[in-house]
A and B are shown apart, each in its own frame.
Chain A
Amino acid sequence: MKARPVEGLSPGAPLRPNAARIVATRIGELRALAEPALDPAASTAQHDLRIAAKRLRYVLEITEVCFGPEAKAARRAAKDLQGVLGEIHDCDVMLPRAWGIESLRDLLRTRRELLFRRFLELWREHDEGGTWAALERALH
């Protein structure tokens, strides 16, 4: 999945306003990709959301020093989302290979369901709890 382009970056301008533009774009990307990923069967959407979470996490690892504790909290949230979505992806990759091994398929399906529930909880905690909104405010 290609990253959304960030408009208006300027190499000669200070780091902070440039970083704010990048972070704002990455939060927008994360929000836009979350809705389709909330369908349990939408494995491609969940994979795309994992990549968006990873992008946000890594840009915050570099620039959180400019945006205070809200950025640190968002970076941790993005890392947790990336982790759980990564484990869901591992199940999705393994499932077709486990053809004919019913005990393994059961294990992978059950594991995926648990992980998906964990993902939903995490997403709601941070979206409804205001983690992304707090970071957006800290950008200004």
Chain B
Amino acid sequence: MARAREVPGLDCEEPFSAAAARVVEVRSAEVFEQAHDVLDTDDIERLHDMRVATRRLRAALEVFAPCFPAKRHRKALKRVKALADALGERRDRDVSIELLESFAAGEAPEGDRAAIVTLIERLRAEQHEANEALAPFVAPKRLKKLRRRLRKLTKAARK
């Protein structure tokens, strides 16, 4: 996963609310940049990158909570959390499948292989379900709406 991007112009002496706007802008941009191809289960790192970016955005929204209008902040945070949860459900299956496939291909004893393959198949089905549940959260229209919501939030912090 890419390191967290530095926040240009962040100044320890500037008002907390001005810093809030800068940080949330950068963290939001990171999320939307990572949103492409996250439903592709052949490259699970894409989803992982978006998940980490979403967690960083959520953390920024929590750190700077007092800088934003309460109702607007609550709604934005709720949507970011829902996105993070949907990404997390898929990620849990990705990690388990990766571990099991590597075990099955390597040190697993012959007698256990059939049971491991069955478990992998079950997890693949869950991964598919998690992907279907995630799809609406990463649809361009939904992301555009979230981006607009976050923009309004940072604008309010600057007032």
Contact = CB atoms under 8 A, between A and B. Distances in A.
Interface in B110-159: 112, 115-116, 119, 157
Nearest to A26: B63
B17 A11 contact: yes
Given A15-B10, A101-B112, A58 B16 contact: no
B95 A90 contact: yes
Interface residues of A, number: 32
A15 B15 CA distance: 6
A90 B56 CA distance: 21
Contacts of B11: 15
B33 interface: no
A11 B96 contact: no
Interface string B42-80: 000000000000011001101100110000000000000
Given A59-B63, A62-B7, A104-B116, A14 B13 contact: yes
A15 B96 contact: no
Interface size class of chain B, counting residues whose CB lies under 8 Å from the partner chain: 35 or more
Contacts, number: 88
Residue among A16, A19, A59, A62 with the highest chain B CB neighbour number at 10 A: A62
A90 B96 CA distance: 8
Nearest to A10: B16
Interface stretch (A30-38, A91-99, A120-128, A130-138): A91-99
Given A15-B10, A90-B99, A107-B107, A101 B15 contact: no
A18 B11 CA distance: 13
Interface of B: 4, 7, 10-17, 19-20, 23, 55-56, 59-60, 62-63, 66-67, 92, 95-96, 99-100, 103, 107-109, 112, 115-116, 119, 157
Interface of A: 3, 9-16, 18-19, 22, 54-55, 58-59, 61-63, 65-66, 90, 93-94, 97-98, 100-104, 107
